């Protein structure tokens, strides 16, 4: 019997290694897997590359990971926020590398990784600083920039509910990067509020099929474990 | 001359958004355009973080932090609205499915180049978000801005000096003193506020202008 549900947060992040690349779902706090990030901090892995839309704000989530000095590089579209002081400080001190990617290219490069594509030609960024030095091509009269897929060792994703095969549904705009990151990482780890029986999720509305998911942990259960 | 304030400008932009349009409103002043869309007509507001059919801000008691807009403010979803992931959201832009986006700008060139993401200052931490995707993806890009900077420099320019967001992507520029079309033919004045002349506008901007 296949059961992807694990009992504890530490089991969920087992095998994380120094130097790992980690995708983290979320747009601001919506969809950010806060408990899994806490588990990464507790695990101790360092020298991490974080792929996410933002670079954390306040004192929790990615900001806490940066504060704990675990992050070597951030690949994101929008690092600067009202309370992104932990990122700002380390970036200004030259202690953290930033690869700034337009948000749609970030999504498309993650999708390309998940879909097994070698590269994509995207119109976004053509003629700007963010395409400097990159190969370009004119196709049917429009200019495109060659961009490569973004793969990751792990994806940390927040969803609303899962079954033991790892099928997922999300909640409102907390979905954001979850489905495409789940496809792009070698090991996808999902935190959910609710675990349901097989068959309880309507196959017509499953957003992420379990083939893209390796481990699921329920946040409320894990909090007590 | 009677300058338009932010509210009047938002109302002016809203007048050019037809029923049935799929529209993305940028962060900041463009968000105010939503307040002036006629309630008896269907205009579909898209939010880059995965929402079509975005409605107004909720009452305090109904705030849900998993229902926010691109500016991370709480919003609502209208009957008929839909959620989707980031891949689909940016396919809507890049794929030409968004009819109109409204953005702020540091500078717009007479040929429609847009600079709105980075001042280029050496100590600035760059952040781009969805600006570049919206700029080149939406079928029409409307810019909403004051014509002049605080120090009196025109933001409508022959060539942008700030780092570019996109090339030849803006079609219209709505400012506190007038509305302009921009593009391959250069800039044209669609309308001016009362008490302003074309010559004065040419002096203010330093660019070649004709009436549309």
What architecture is the A18-200+209-224 domain classified under in CATH? 3-Layer(aba) Sandwich (3.40)
Q: Cβ separation of B66 and A172 shorter than 8 Å?
A: yes
Chain A positions in Cβ-Cβ contact with residue B50 (cut-off 8 Å)? 27, 173, 175-176
Exposure of A51 in the CB half-sphere (CA atoms within 13 A): 29
- The answer to whether B48 is a known catalytic residue is yes
Q: How far is CA B13 from CA B28, B45, B187, in A?
A: 14, 14, 18
Best A82, A96, A102 member to test B by mutation, with max B CBs in 10 Å, is A102
- pTM for the structure as a whole: 0.97
Distance from CA of B192 to the nearest CA of A (A): 32
- Residue A125 and residue B51: Cβ atoms within 8 Å? no
A77, A124, A127 ranked by CB distance to B94: nearest? A124
| B64, B85, B163 ranked by CB distance to A128: nearest | B163
**pLDDT score for A209:** 98
The string of pLDDT tens digits covering residues A1-35 is: 999 999 999 999 999 999 999 999 999 999 999 99
- Integer Cα distance of B118 and B113 in angstroms: 14
pLDDT tens column, B31-65? 999 999 998 999 999 999 999 999 999 999 999 99
The first and second tokens of residue A8, run together, are: 């504890």
Contact B167 A126 (CB under 8 A): yes
Contacts 24+ apart (CB under 8 A), A203-207: A205/A169, A206/A167, A206/A168, A206/A169, A207/A159, A207/A168, A207/A169, A207/A170, A207/A175, A207/A178, A207/A179, A207/B85
Residue A207 to residue B47, Cβ atoms within 8 A: no
b/e sequence B148-183, b meaning 16+ C-beta within 10 Å: beeeeebbbbbebebbbbbbbbbbbbbbbbbbbbbe
Tell me the chain A residues in contact with residue B51 when contact means C-beta distances shorter than 8 Å: 172-173
Domain assignment of residue B204, yes or no: yes
Provide the CATH number for the domain around residue B57: 3.40.1080.10
In this complex, do B51 and A173 lie within 8 Å of one another by their Cβ atoms?
yes
pLDDT tens track for A134-189 = 999 999 999 999 999 999 999 999 999 999 999 999 999 999 999 999 999 999 99
Averaged pLDDT score across all residues of chain B: 96
Task: Supply the range of the domain harboring residue B162.
Answer: 6-211
B60: in domain:
yes
Please, is A11 exposed, middle or buried when counting C-beta atoms within 10 Å of its C-beta (0-12, 13-18, 19+)? middle
- Domain tally, chain B: 1
Residue B44 within any structural domain of the chain: yes
Where in chain A are the domains?
A: 18-200+209-224
User: Which element (helix H / strand E) includes B155?
Assistant: none
d(CA B31, CA B63): 18
A111: which chain B residues are within 8 Å (Cβ-Cβ)?
Answer: 87
In a domain, B1, yes or no: no
Structure confidence at residue B177 as a pLDDT band (50, 70, 90): very high
Among candidates A30, A77, A177 on the partner chain, residue whose Cβ is nearest the Cβ of B129 = A77
Are B133 and A105 an interchain contact pair (Cβ–Cβ within 8 Å)? yes
CA–CA distance, B101 with B107 (Å, rounded to integer): 16
What pLDDT is recorded for position B39? 87
Residue A225 reports pLDDT greater than 60: no
Confidence class for position A224, pLDDT limits 50, 70, 90: very low
Say yes or no: B86 contacts chain A, CB-CB below 8 A: yes
Contact B69, B31 (CB under 8 A): yes
Q: Is residue B72 part of a domain?
A: yes
User: Taking residues A192-215, what's their average pLDDT?
Assistant: 98
């Amino acid at each position: 019997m296949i059961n992807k549900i694990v009992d504890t947060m530490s089991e969920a992040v087992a095998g994380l290694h120094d130097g790992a690349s980690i995708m983290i779902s979320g747009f601001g706090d919506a969809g950010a897997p806060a408990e899994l990030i806490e588990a990464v901090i507790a695990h101790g892995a360092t020298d991490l590359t974080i792929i996410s839309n933002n670079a954390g704000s306040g004192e929790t989530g990615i900001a806490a990971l940066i504060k704990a000095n675990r992050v070597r590089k951030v690949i994101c579209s929008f690092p600067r926020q009202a309370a992104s002081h932990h990122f700002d400080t380390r970036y200004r001190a030259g202690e953290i590398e930033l690869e700034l990617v337009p948000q749609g290219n970030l999504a498309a490069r993650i999708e390309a990784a998940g879909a097994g594509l070698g590269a994509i030609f995207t119109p976004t960024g053509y003629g700007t600083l963010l395409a400097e030095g990159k190969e370009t091509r004119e196709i049917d009269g429009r200019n495109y920039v060659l961009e490569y897929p973004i793969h990751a060792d792990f994806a940390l994703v927040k969803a609303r509910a899962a079954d033991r095969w790892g099928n997922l549904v999300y909640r409102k705009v907390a979905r954001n990067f979850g489905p495409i990151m789940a496809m792009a990482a070698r090991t996808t780890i999902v935190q959910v509020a609710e675990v349901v029986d097989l068959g309880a999720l309507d196959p017509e509305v499953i957003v992420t099929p379990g083939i893209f998911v390796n481990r699921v942990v329920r946040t409320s259960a894990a909090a007590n474990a | 001359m009677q300058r338009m304030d932010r509210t009047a400008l938002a109302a002016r932009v809203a007048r050019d958004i037809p029923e049935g349009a799929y529209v993305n409103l940028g962060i900041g002043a463009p968000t105010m355009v939503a307040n002036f869309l006629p309630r008896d007509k269907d205009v579909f507001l898209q939010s880059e973080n995965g929402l079509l059919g975005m409605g107004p801000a909720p009452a305090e008691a109904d705030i849900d932090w998993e229902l926010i807009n691109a500016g991370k403010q709480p919003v609502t979803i209208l009957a008929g609205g839909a959620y989707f992931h980031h891949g689909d959201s940016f396919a809507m832009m890049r794929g030409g499915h968004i009819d109109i986006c409204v953005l702020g700008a540091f500078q717009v060139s007479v040929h429609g180049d847009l600079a709105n993401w980075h001042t280029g200052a050496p100590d600035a931490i760059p952040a781009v978000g969805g600006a570049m995707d919206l700029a080149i993806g939406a079928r029409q890009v409307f810019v909403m801005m004051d014509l002049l900077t605080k120090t009196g420099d025109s933001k409508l320019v022959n060539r942008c000096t700030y780092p570019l967001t996109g090339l030849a992507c803006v079609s219209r520029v709505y400012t506190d003193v007038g509305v302009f079309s921009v593009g391959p033919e250069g800039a044209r004045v669609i309308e001016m506020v009362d008490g302003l002349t074309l010559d004065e506008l040419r002096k203010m901007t330093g660019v070649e202008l004709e009436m549309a």
